[in-house]
């Protein structure tokens, strides 16, 4: 089951992006800016979990494309 994190730093549009840490793609935020979300079966529940921290959340277009909107 992949591990997810949310970027503590918002994008210019205010979104806090959720990333699949396990995928270890280049899009991952700096380790200091990752809020760990733990293990999730998929990005949907990871995004829900991220909403405990931030009200404006979006999936990363690169490593969580199924949850990316806009």
Chain positions contacting Zn ion, by CB under 5 A: 19, 27, 60, 62-63
Three-state SS for 18?
strand
Residue nearest to Zn ion (CB): 60
Q: Which is nearer to Zn ion, 35 or 62 (CB)?
A: 62
CB of 64 to Zn ion, least distance (A): 6
CB of 52 to Zn ion, least distance (A): 19
Q: Are the beta carbons of 19 and 63 closer than 8 angstroms?
A: yes
Q: Are the beta carbons of 5 and 29 closer than 8 angstroms?
A: yes
Q: Which is nearer to Zn ion, 27 or 44 (CB)?
A: 27
């Amino acid at each position: 089951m992949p591990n997810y994190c949310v970027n503590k730093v918002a994008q210019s549009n205010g979104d806090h992006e959720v990333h699949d840490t396990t995928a270890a793609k280049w899009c991952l935020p700096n380790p200091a800016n990752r809020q760990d979300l733990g293990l999730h079966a998929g990005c949907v529940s990871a995004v829900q979990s991220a909403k405990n921290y931030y009200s404006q959340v979006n999936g990363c277009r690169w490593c969580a494309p199924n949850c990316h909107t806009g």
